[in-house]
Structure 1
Amino acid sequence: MFGLFGKHKPVKIRGFRGGKKYGVAAKDVKELLKKGCKLFQVPLSGARVCLYEDGTTVTEDFFKTLPDNSQLVLLSGEQTWDGVVSDIGQLLNTDRHADGLIEAAKELLCDETSSKRRKILTDLLLNLEDTSELESRAEDEDWFKGVDARFKTKSAYMKFNCESRIRGYVKEVDAAAKTIQGAKVRTAFRKASERMVEMLKAARYNGRYFDRTDKGPDRLCTPEGWFTCQGSFDEEVCRSLHSINPYGSRESRIVFSTWNLDHRVEKKRAIVPALLEALHDRRSADVDLSYFYRLLFTRENLKLVHIVCHKKGAHNLSCDTEKVFGKADKTKRKPGVKKRRLV
């Protein structure tokens, strides 16, 4: 096994930072550490070696079982190694290698046949070819291809994009009025809808959710423009850790259009029927419309989700009936009479 090296085992060793590897032969871990520390100019005290591929610490017994030319990493102090992930993390923490990574990924992608590796390379290219630091049309013309000329900045367009989605929900609510039986309820519903639209206008249709320049707490992205999937309606977080920066490239902007602002309590199955039920034999003034407004149009009930996390089936979540009625309605009910379940 040891060949020309006699009792010494040949290995490839590298430091914590930098990918340059050196061939070293040692009879045991103690000798390997001594040679490695001298080679990389690090203190021997507290030094240790681990496998490059997964970070497993190399003990004396483990060292004896290693194949020749195993790849090892020399660590010192508080340094830790998580295998290849650590290497990628260090690489992506600097812009110094970005251009080289882009070219290398493109070359690998041309000949790659594995679907998994093709996806990894494609995602890498999508995130590396990033111009998110640019904001105006003059600075990044490619990002604005297909975008109406009236939009001069990325943030202005993204704000409009969010407003358009919210306006779409308004149209869905208005469409429900056509199916209502009874002129009185239909009139009350339309008045309720008009009042909620006034609330939306005052809030500028909540376009701030997608505007990275907004300073308020409701913004859904980082100041750089990164959005993170909030997970399906029945989960606290996204298990797949989906993220995207539509400010980074034209392709990312287009892909982001497939992400959804999903209602946890559903519009058509729960919120609108609950509103209709509340308006029966009541004026719109007697119903807490701010509650329905928050459910229909705000982050109180909306979650930003990747298309994969957008579950189309019934959510089986209902409105909180204790929040539906205004003060006027409470005085009309007899003591001991419970409110009806709305959905």
Structure 2
Amino acid sequence: MNKITKPKLVKIRSVNQARKYGIAAVTLKELVKKGCNLLKISGPRIQICLYEDGTIITEEYFQNLPDNTELVFLTDGQSWNGFAFEINQVLGLDTHTDLLISAAKDLLSDEHSPKRRRILGDLLRNLKDNSDVESREKDKEWFEGVDVRFKTKSAYMKYNCESRIRGYLKEVDGYTKTIQNNKAKNEYKKVVEILAEKLKSVRYNGVYFDRSESEAHRLCTEEGWFSCQGAFDENECTFFHSINPYGNRESRILFSTWNLDHLIEKKRTVIPTLAEVLKGKKSSDINLDYFYKLLFTQENLKLVHIVCHKKGAHELSCDSRKIYKRVKRTVK
């Protein structure tokens, strides 16, 4: 008595159509016959491949496929290199963006490939891009959770940067309580006041995150794209991290995990050295502009993705050691 083979359930589509069809077949030959009728295609040489990566299906391969595997029918002369095919087809073509989003979401359901899910997740997030829109009125979703006083994305992003710089000033001020000598403490307080006034005059360097500012001042492109500048001990980001917080709400929130990292460390080096050089000196005796640059400007700050933010003690490079020695010589 012949063994009855259970039909294999798969999803099929053609190269030129995004629509998928469910179909059942016991053998690859049966699948080809049924699929050609359903997709209304024909030819002397029909092949079937995996939608995911373009692997050509043989009879043996077909018998070992899990149910609901997605397959693509190829006629003579056609090829399919997986998901990259649809990316090439629709990248930059707004009318087909929904197709790419749908395809990416399907692949995201594969729990056996976390790396691919992460890549596709980034792709989907960036496809939902409204970076060309600036006002709250035209992109209300982007402004969810943002105080109503902010009417444009640039205004909020500027405030975001200002808040970070204000936080650095607060840390400088907080160090005051650790200084035991009253005279030195009073001079340190004067320094904090001077730094605060200087920051206030330049709006706390909020221009760094404001895409409406001139290219010389901002850290992003005119469209709002930021690129990771790499870890403190590297010349560039080896992962090519980038993000556009102007594009959508999710990217705006994710951008909060990026850091403005001090090359010469703020807490371990710059602030303690500032207090040290004030011992027996007046605030007017030291080069405050130099400390200002180290604490609050791009001269000592790098924008880095959280992965590139090394939180341990910075082992200074030769160039950084020279800067460190200059810090020690800031007394006029």
Give the 5 Å matches for 1:219-234.
Answer: 219-234=218-233
Name the counterpart of 1:188.
187
Looking at structure 1, the residues matched to 148 and 302 of structure 2 have their Cα atoms a distance apart, in angstroms, of 30
Give the 5 Å matches for 1:242-253.
Answer: 242-253=241-252
Looking at structure 2, the residues matched to 245 and 224 of structure 1 have their Cα atoms a distance apart, in angstroms, of 8
Structure 1 residues 108 and 282, CA gap change in structure 2 (3 angstroms):
same
Name the counterpart of 2:91.
92
Q: Which residues of structure 2 form unaligned runs of 5+?
A: 1-14, 16-41, 46-52, 55-73
Name the counterpart of 1:334.
none
Looking at structure 2, the residues matched to 23 and 274 of structure 1 have their Cα atoms a distance apart, in angstroms, of 78
Q: Which residues of structure 1 form unaligned runs of 5+?
A: 1-13, 15-21, 26-51, 54-68, 75-81, 331-343
Structure 1 residues 139 and 297, CA gap change in structure 2 (3 angstroms):
same
Looking at structure 1, the residues matched to 98 and 158 of structure 2 have their Cα atoms a distance apart, in angstroms, of 31
Structure 1 residues 287 and 70, CA gap change in structure 2 (3 angstroms):
farther
Name the counterpart of 1:204.
203
Looking at structure 1, the residues matched to 215 and 106 of structure 2 have their Cα atoms a distance apart, in angstroms, of 43
Looking at structure 2, the residues matched to 176 and 72 of structure 1 have their Cα atoms a distance apart, in angstroms, of 71
Name the SS for the 2:260 alignment partner.
strand
User: Is it true that 1:135 corresponds to 2:131 in the alignment?
Assistant: no
Name the SS for the 2:141 alignment partner.
helix
Structure 1 residues 308 and 269, CA gap change in structure 2 (3 angstroms):
same
Offset, 1:87:
7.4
Offset, 1:108:
3.1
Name the counterpart of 1:159.
158
Offset, 1:268:
1.0
Name the counterpart of 2:22.
none
CA deviation vs aligned residue, 1:3-39 (integer Å, no higher than 9, x gap)? xxxxxxxxxxx9xxxxxxx9899xxxxxxxxxxxxxx
Name the SS for the 1:257 alignment partner.
helix
For 2:254, give the aligned amino acid: V
Offset, 1:295:
0.4
User: Is it true that 1:175 corresponds to 2:174 in the alignment?
Assistant: yes
Looking at structure 1, the residues matched to 313 and 235 of structure 2 have their Cα atoms a distance apart, in angstroms, of 18
Offset, 1:100:
1.4
CA deviation vs aligned residue, 1:196-251 (integer Å, no higher than 9, x gap)? 11111111100000001111412011111111000000001000001111111111
CA deviation vs aligned residue, 1:265-292 (integer Å, no higher than 9, x gap)? 0011110111112111111111000000
TM-score by length of 1: 0.69
Looking at structure 2, the residues matched to 302 and 89 of structure 1 have their Cα atoms a distance apart, in angstroms, of 37
Give the 5 Å matches for 1:268-307.
Answer: 268-307=267-306
Offset, 1:97:
2.3
Name the counterpart of 1:126.
125
TM-score by length of 2: 0.71
Please tell me the root mean square deviation across aligned C-alpha atoms, in Å.
2.9
Offset, 1:142:
0.5
Offset, 1:110:
3.4
Structure 1 residues 313 and 24, CA gap change in structure 2 (3 angstroms):
farther
Name the SS for the 1:144 alignment partner.
coil
Q: Is the 8 A contact 2:86 2:100 kept in 1?
A: no
Name the counterpart of 1:29.
none
For 1:132, give the aligned amino acid: S
Q: Number of residues paired by the alignment?
A: 261
Name the SS for the 2:303 alignment partner.
strand
CA deviation vs aligned residue, 1:105-147 (integer Å, no higher than 9, x gap)? 2233235542122112211111101111111110000110100
Looking at structure 2, the residues matched to 252 and 158 of structure 1 have their Cα atoms a distance apart, in angstroms, of 12
Looking at structure 2, the residues matched to 270 and 73 of structure 1 have their Cα atoms a distance apart, in angstroms, of 62
Looking at structure 2, the residues matched to 216 and 324 of structure 1 have their Cα atoms a distance apart, in angstroms, of 33
Looking at structure 2, the residues matched to 172 and 214 of structure 1 have their Cα atoms a distance apart, in angstroms, of 27
159-168 vs 113-122, which moves further? 113-122
For 1:297, give the aligned amino acid: F
Structure 1 residues 325 and 144, CA gap change in structure 2 (3 angstroms):
same
Name the counterpart of 2:100.
101
Q: Is the 8 A contact 1:155 1:212 kept in 2?
A: yes
Name the SS for the 1:214 alignment partner.
coil
Structure 1 residues 129 and 216, CA gap change in structure 2 (3 angstroms):
closer
Name the SS for the 2:257 alignment partner.
coil
User: Is it true that 1:239 corresponds to 2:238 in the alignment?
Assistant: yes
